[in-house]
Amino acid sequence: MMLGGRFDIGATPKGLSPDMVAKIREVEATLSDEQKDHARWTLTWVEGRATVTLDNGVTLREGD
């Protein structure tokens, strides 16, 4: 079992694929400075695949 957690804009948790990190950076590039200061990602693992959700509701799933 893998545990997830929360992480800040610009951070890269261990275990994420380069493709997932690229998707996260694409979303982060669209955020305002205020959003970048306050928003955080939540990382969860479902059946071994990463799912990240930004506080504003944007959700990315590995393999999508």
pLDDT tens figures, 20-48: 999 999 999 999 999 999 999 999 998 88
Measured between alpha carbons, how far is 14 from 18 in angstroms, rounded to an integer? 11
Place of tokens 């694929």: 17
> Strands 40-46 and 49-54, how do they pair?
antiparallel
pLDDT at residue 56 greater than cutoff 70: yes
Domain that holds residue 49: 5-61
Place of tokens 């799912």: 51
Measured between alpha carbons, how far is 2 from 49 in angstroms, rounded to an integer? 10
Task: Specify the number of domains making up the chain.
Answer: 1
Reported confidence tier of residue 2, pLDDT bands at 50, 70, 90: low
| 62: nearest Cα among 45, 44, 48, 50 | 50
Type of residue numbered 12? T
pTM of the model: 0.89
